[in-house]
Amino acid sequence: MLFWFLTVLALGSALMVVFSKNPVHSILWLIITFFAITGHYILLNAQFLAIVNIIVYAGAIMVLFLFVVMMMNLNEISSPLKNKWLKFAGVISGCSLLLVLIAALKDTDTMQQEVLLNTGKIGLINNLGTVLFSDYVLPFEISSVLFLSAMVGAVVIGKK
Partner 1 sequence: MTINHYIFLSVALFCIGIIGVLTRRNVIIIFMCIELMFNAVNLLLVAFSKMHYLAASVVDPATTAGTDGQLFVFFIMVVAAAEVSVGLAIIVMMYRNTHSIDASFLNRLKH
89 near partner 1, rule: CB under 8 A: yes
- Is the torsion defined by CA of 129, 130, 134, 136 positive or negative? negative
**CB-based contact 9:83 (threshold 8 Å):** no
91 near partner 1, rule: CB under 8 A: yes
Which of 5, 70, 117, 141 contacts partner 1 by CB under 8 A? 117
Which of 5, 70, 136, 137 contacts partner 1 by CB under 8 A? 136
Which of 9, 28, 32, 132 contacts partner 1 by CB under 8 A? 132
Buried-state track 8-37, b at ≥16 Cβ within 10 A, e below 16? ebbeebbebbeeeeebeebbbbbbbbbbbb
61 near partner 1, rule: CB under 8 A: yes
Which of 15, 70, 137, 141 contacts partner 1 by CB under 8 A? 15
58 near partner 1, rule: CB under 8 A: no
